[in-house]
Structures are given as structure tokens and as C-alpha cells.
Amino acid sequence: MDLLEQSPSLQNDFAILFSKCWAEALASVKEDYPQTEFPNEWALSNEIDAQLSKRFW
């Protein structure tokens, strides 16, 4: 059983935490690669199930 199944209340916080992490990572990568354009918003699904089940690589 995974952590989200054990603690469903974490699902409510996922979108907030993901958005915060995305913003922090984006700011960091923009600083490290100023010549590169990055999207300002996450282009893929924000749904927790999609995030945890999609294979991105």
C-alpha cells in the first residue's frame, strides 16, 4: 500500500505542493540557464493520478 492510500488527506495537499515545487524548480532552472526559454506553467496534467501513473521518460 502506498503512502497516498494510507493517508488520503495527502491527496488534498498534492496540487498545492506540486505547484509550489514547480515554481521553485522553474525559478532555479531559469537562473541556471538564462538563455533558455521555459514555460511559465506546467504543461501536463495536474491530477494526482496522472502524475503518479504517467511514464514521462
The confidence score (pLDDT) of residue 57 equals 53
38 Cβ contact list (under 8 Å, min separation 6)? 26, 29, 30
| Set of cell numbers at residue 30 | 531559469
| Set of cell numbers at residue 32 | 541556471
> 15: left (phi > 0), else alpha (psi -120 to 50), else beta?
alpha
Give the predicted TM-score (pTM) of the model. Answer: 0.68
The confidence score (pLDDT) of residue 1 equals 46
pLDDT tens, position by position, 4-51 = 677 777 777 888 888 899 999 999 999 999 999 999 988 888 777 777
**Which residue ranges make up each domain of the chain?**
3-53
The confidence score (pLDDT) of residue 24 equals 94
